[in-house]
Structure 1
Amino acid sequence: MPRFAHIFEAAADTLNAWYQAIAEVNIDSLMGLWIDEEFVSCIWADGSHLHGLESIRAGLSVQLEMNRVSIEPLDIRVYDSLGTVVYAIAEAHRPADPAAAPAMVFTTYVMVHERGEWRIAHIHSSPMPDAAASQFAARMRHGQGSLH
C-alpha cells in the first residue's frame, strides 16, 4: 500500500538538514539541498539578493564566515500542495557567542519535489519588526516553544 500521507515529512527533513548544515558551516551540504536549476534564488535578511547556484554558494560562504549562527525555529507555518511545500518560519539566528542576542528573522522556504527528493528552490528572509521580535524573545525567555 502506498504511503502518500508521509510525502511531506521528507520536506521537513530537508529543512532540518539546512539548519544542521548552517550550524556546522558546511557549504557543500547546504548546496546539496538546493534544486539543481539556475532559477534558484535567496534573499537574506540584510537585503542581499542571490540568484543562481554559484551566487548562492559564494554568498553563503561569505555570510557564514562573517556571522556563524545556529537557527532556532520559533513558529512554523506549513503550506503544502502536490510537488511544493512552503514554510513560513519565525527564527532566532543565534550567534556563536552565547552572550550575544539572537537576530529575530522571518524566513520563507520554498521547496519543490524533484526526482523523489525535496529540494530548496527559494529562501526569503527579513528582519522581524521590533514589536514581533520582542514578543518572540519574551516567549524564548519563558521557555515557551513554538507551539505555545
Structure 2
Amino acid sequence: MPRFAHHFEAAADTLNAWYQAVAEVNLDGLIGLWIDEEFVSCICPDGAHLYGLPNIRAGLAAQFEAAPVSIEPLDIRVYDSLGTVVYAIVEAHRPVDPKAVPAMVFTTYVMVHERGEWRIAHIHSSRMPDEAASQFSAKLRRSLGALH
C-alpha cells in the first residue's frame, strides 16, 4: 500500500520553510509555521520579547521593514524526543546589502508535533558577542581544510 507524505513530516522541513520564508520576506508563510496557541513566544536577536501570534506577526513585520535578512545555518545541534524537537543553531543573519557584515546569532527553535505537522512553539535568538563570533569563525575556517 503506498505511503503518502504529510506536509512538514519532518521538523527539518519546517525549519527549512522558516528560512525560505525569511529570505522571501513572506510574513504569512512565517506565521503559518507556528502552532496556533496563545503561549507561543519569540525572543528576537535585538532582545525584543514577542508573545502570541498577533505580537509575533507585528514584531517580525517591523524587523523585515527595518532590515530584511537571509539566514544561513552554520552549526546545527538537534535534540529530539517524542513529539518535540529542539534545534540549537549558530546562524549568520545576512543583510540584503551584500557588502554588509552578517550578524552572528545563536538561535534555539522549539518545535512540537501537532495534528500530523511539525510547528514552531518558541524561538529564542541572541546576538553572539563579537569575541565569540571571532572564535566561532576561526574554528569554522580550521574545519574547512586547506582549500578554503
So what's the TM-score if we normalise by structure 2? 0.87
Does residue 1:39 correspond to 2:58, yes or no?
no
The separation in 1 between residues aligned to 2:142 and 2:80, in whole angstroms, is: 31
Q: Which has the larger radius of gyration?
A: 2
Counterpart position of 2:52: 52
So what's the TM-score if we normalise by structure 1? 0.87
Aligned residues: 140
- Cα drift, residue 65 of structure 1: 1.0
5 Å-filtered alignment, 1:9-28, equals: 10-28=10-28
The separation in 1 between residues aligned to 2:95 and 2:143, in whole angstroms, is: 19
What letter matches 1:58 in structure 2? Answer: A
Percent identical: 80
List gaps (5 residues or longer) in structure 2. Answer: none
- Cα drift, residue 72 of structure 1: 0.4
Counterpart position of 1:118: 118
Counterpart position of 2:132: 132
List gaps (5 residues or longer) in structure 1. Answer: none
Counterpart position of 1:95: 95
The separation in 2 between residues aligned to 1:47 and 1:116, in whole angstroms, is: 32
- Cα drift, residue 141 of structure 1: 6.3
Instruction: For residues 50-107 of structure 1, give each alpha carbon's deviation from its aligned partner in whole angstroms, at most 9, with x where no partner exists.
Output: 0000000000100011111000001000000000000000000000000000000000
What letter matches 1:117 in structure 2? Answer: E
Instruction: For residues 93-131 of structure 1, give each alpha carbon's deviation from its aligned partner in whole angstroms, at most 9, with x where no partner exists.
Output: 000000000000000000000000000000000111222
Cα distance change, pair 9–141 in 1 and its aligned pair in 2 (3 A):
farther
Counterpart position of 1:81: 81
Q: Please tell me the root mean square deviation across aligned C-alpha atoms, in Å.
A: 2.2
What letter matches 1:121 in structure 2? Answer: A
Secondary structure of the corresponding residue to residue 16 of structure 2: helix
- Cα drift, residue 138 of structure 1: 3.8
